[in-house]
Chains A and B, each alone.
Chain A
Amino acid sequence: MSTTTSAPAGSPPRQRPPRPVAVLASTAVVAALAAAALVLSAPYPFSNADGSIGPGAMPRVVSGALLLVCLGRLAALELTHRRTAAPAVVATTSDGEGATGDGAQEVPGAHRKLLRVGATVLVTALAIPFAGLLLSLTAMTFFLAAVVEKQPVVRSAVVAGATFVVTYLVFGVLLRVPLPLGVFDPALWRS
């Protein structure tokens, strides 16, 4: 299929725009989830012995509908891509509340920072059973501010210290949440 027929003479041939890969990928992921849910719902009966709706009805109907919507969207995206030379239009969100619609913006180096932040949070979550919740989160706060964000060390330490004190007072003292202490749990050492 050529898209150059309508191009003005002398102008370079217009290239087919790239597929909206992220949209395709996300729709495919949701479609795969729906398909998996549909398959996994097979053991649940569609209706109960008394004729009422069974545990399999909702999962099967909803996952089936979701799969159809996703496949329809994928087909529509592909058709749009084939038919037009213009970039495939991805409907912008105008949902009631909460959507950002800012997919086009990006701070330089954002991906690297996001990876660092994500890795830090992941390590923090893994460290909680050993170092305790408050200590892990305090260390995370200090690391993110001082290392990832390259803020002054003293100021980062003050912010992390304040985080420890405030969260301890709110969650530990006021709300009496039994915060895990990890290896610092006195009960562990007593035994």
Chain B
Amino acid sequence: MWENLAAGAAAAVTPENLLWCFIGAVLGTVIGILPGLGSATGVAILIPVTLTLSPLTALIMLAGIYHGAQFGSTTTAILIATPGESSSVVSTFDGYQMARKGRAGQALAISTIGAFAASVVSLGFLMLLAPSFARLALNFGPPEMLAIMVLGLATIVVFSGKALVPGLMMGLLGILVACVGVDVGSGTPRYTFGEVNLFGGLPFVEVMIGLFALGELLNQLHRGSVTPIRTRFRDLLLTREDLRRSVAPTVRGGVVGFLLGCLPGAGTTLASFMAYGAEKQFSRNRRELGTGAIEGVVAPDAATGAASNANFVPTLALGVPGGATTAVLLGAFLVYGIQPGPMLFEQQPVLVWGLLFSFLVGSFMLLVLNLPLAPVFAQILRVRYAFMYPLIIATSLLGAYSVKNSMFSVWVVLVFGVVGYAMKRLDLPMAPLVLGLVIGPLFEKALVQTSALAGDAGIASLVLTSPAAITVLALALVLVAGPLLVARLRPQRVVEDAAPETVTVGAPAGDDQTDRTTRTDRQGDR
């Protein structure tokens, strides 16, 4: 492991990779700050730009965007109660309240420090856990891979959350869309209607740009935004009391974030909400939560930082995405011709360890960028959206065109932009669709291989004789049935916990905050 880590570190700290890591971190922070442009959108838009880079450099940059967006999105959550990412929704509860009390700087500072600390510690655990998982999975054949893909599909339920039926619909739709193109088993073209451009399937990058970038942009035009609260450099200074109160929530948030982040499909949002819930349960100052308590800011952000790293455990070791952005990243791996999964640690050690080491480098960069420069980045919020969105459209269309140098890509972006917009307006979850798109072909491939291997005996006979496959299938069952059972057994508690969380992502405020954020604050066009 140490040899691989050293080789990875050497690969990660080349001037070129450091530069792209820095660019990714800066871009990610900016993307996270821009309301609605989350990490998945940022990664989707910028995949085409990375196609000319080496896979490691490209992934380092995309990971920088992913992590940077987590940091940046908290800035908007705190300053305008409009989270750039759904994982930052919780930051609006106390972060925005701190900002309204004139403590925006301290909220930004403690959020950055908490996320950094949890991120660095969780990275250590990621480096220990992921290879062990991969080593376990190294002897996996088609039946076990099929079970893993079932686990991946089971995460559609996890992604769906309370919106189970819409989530299932979108997940199945994603798999169906992924069926377009030449079949992996027999080479039969499906749903191509003689269109040569469709033989390779609907292009993943273009679909992502359409769904996330254009769809979100149109949705943003539908909504307004609130005037940002100003903050200055000197406001970032924390008191000793602030730091003392933040230690325990950071540890709790980090642990909760890492454990939940390791679950396929759990993403960072669940982690941040659960960390907030843990504070409500265990914090000494739990009565202050919701009124601008520092614990309510640092714990969710620590959880998000830890979960964003932990998401790579299932992504790298099993090839099953940890969250929506890692699902897009998983697609990026495939675009670069790399198959994540158990073999990745054996076949591409420099790439994997280089990527993991770049997380550490990126974390330090993000700390340096976000701690003193948060007020500077916050100025981006003052750029008029009237100028911003035409630039986003132009970049999206150019990026899509550059993937294959084809107008077909542009049209795919436009069509899926409308689909993405409709999904946003109808509250249809995006993550299951992405998961279906990514996992669908992998599932079918595993299914075809297993059925060919099993012959007349049938797939079940092969899968159910493998202890590893049974274990993975049991885990899938737990993932699907667990939350449903817990919700049924503890209905009262769920309602209680959910009460302050009715704030909507991208909304200026919700629940108790709705009253405080007056509609006069809103402006359709900054």
Contacts and interface: CB of A to CB of B under 8 A. Distances in A.
28 contacts: A27-B169, A30-B173, A45-B186, A52-B452, A54-B183, A55-B188, A58-B444, A76-B165, A91-B162, A91-B164, A93-B428, A94-B162, A95-B161, A95-B324, A96-B270, A97-B323, A99-B86, A99-B424, A99-B429, A99-B430, A101-B427, A101-B505, A114-B221, A117-B389, A145-B386, A151-B384, A167-B394, A178-B405
A44 B440 CA distance: 18
A96 B427 contact: no
Interface in B469-526: 504-507, 524-525
Interface in A17-71: 22-23, 26-27, 30, 33-34, 37, 40-41, 44-45, 47-48, 50-55, 57-59, 62-63, 65-66, 69-70
B325 interface: yes
Given A97-B267, A101-B507, 17 more contacts: A53-B444, A54-B185, A58-B175, A62-B176, A70-B169, A76-B165, A93-B162, A93-B429, A94-B162, A94-B163, A99-B86, A101-B427, A107-B524, A125-B407, A133-B397, A144-B389, A175-B49
Given A22-B426, A141-B390, A145-B386, A177 B401 contact: yes
Interface residues of A, number: 86
Contacts, number: 278
Interface of A: 22-23, 26-27, 30, 33-34, 37, 40-41, 44-45, 47-48, 50-55, 57-59, 62-63, 65-66, 69-70, 72-73, 76, 90-103, 105-110, 113-114, 117-118, 121-122, 124-125, 128-129, 133-134, 137-138, 140-141, 144-145, 149, 151, 155-156, 159-160, 163, 167, 170-171, 175-180
Contacts of A144: 386, 389-390, 393
B423 to A, nearest CB: 8
A134 to B, nearest CB: 8
Contacts of B456: 51
B410 interface: yes
A38 to B, nearest CB: 10
A156 B388 CA distance: 11
Contacts of B222: 105-107, 110, 114
Interface size of B as a range: 35 or more
A96 B176 contact: no
A92 B387 CA distance: 32
Contacts of A93: 161-163, 166, 427-429
Contact of A163 (B164, B268, B394, B440): B394
Contact of A26 (B167, B323, B426): B426
Interface in B262-298: 265-270
A42 to B, nearest CB: 12
B308 to A, nearest CB: 11
Would you list the 4 A-B pairs with minimal beta carbon distance, nearest first? A96-B267, A95-B429, A94-B161, A149-B386
B394 A100 contact: no
A69 B172 contact: yes
Interface in B343-398: 384, 386-387, 389-391, 393-395, 397-398
B40 A98 contact: yes
A174 to B, nearest CB: 8
A52 to B, nearest CB: 4
A87 B395 CA distance: 41
Contacts of A141: 390-391, 393-394
B209 interface: no
Nearest to A99: B429
A149 B391 CA distance: 13
A178 B402 CA distance: 8
B237 interface: no
Contacts of B390: 140-141, 144-145, 159-160, 163
Interface of B: 36, 38-40, 49, 51-52, 85-87, 158-169, 172-173, 175-176, 179, 183, 185-186, 188, 190-191, 212, 216, 218-219, 221-224, 265-270, 323-325, 384, 386-387, 389-391, 393-395, 397-398, 401-402, 405, 407, 410-411, 414, 418, 422, 424-432, 434, 440, 444, 447-448, 451-452, 455-456, 504-507, 524-525
Contacts of B398: 133-134, 137, 167, 171, 177, 179
Contact of A66 (B176, B402, B440, B447): B176
A176 B397 CA distance: 16
B384 A97 contact: no
A70 B410 CA distance: 30
Contacts of A117: 218, 221, 389
A48 B165 contact: no
Contacts of A107: 221-224, 524
Given A98-B86, A177-B402, A121 B414 contact: yes
